[in-house]
Amino acid sequence: MTKNRRYSQNSEQQQQTLTKIKYVTYPYFVARTQMKELPVYIDIKNGGTRILTEISRIEGDVEVTSIYLMYNILLMHLLIIVSK
């Protein structure tokens, strides 16, 4: 009987933790490639003086995606400067 009680308590705890999980929805989605990698590519132009990062397979609102990426890149750059 103690095994059954333990099992029922564990399953109740698992149910409680599953109900606490909150999923975040974004207005965009970036699909992975067939090799399960993100579709991020680097394009080097002007003899290496201009480097562009290209992200393909974006579904949803592209403008929100670009704003989100620019904000996170700026934040990451500021954190690197402050930590030096």
Q: What is the pLDDT of residues 6-62, one digit of tens each?
A: 555 566 666 666 566 677 788 889 899 999 999 999 999 999 899 888 889 989 988
* pLDDT of res. 81: 72
Q: With contact defined as beta carbons under 8 Å apart, do 39 and 32 qualify? A: yes
* pLDDT of res. 37: 94
Q: With contact defined as beta carbons under 8 Å apart, do 52 and 42 qualify? A: yes
* pLDDT of res. 39: 93
Number of domains in the chain: 1
Q: Could you give the residue ranges of the DSSP H alpha helices within the chain? A: 2-20, 62-83
* pLDDT of res. 14: 64
pTM score > 0.75 for this model? no
What range does the domain containing 37 cover? 2-83
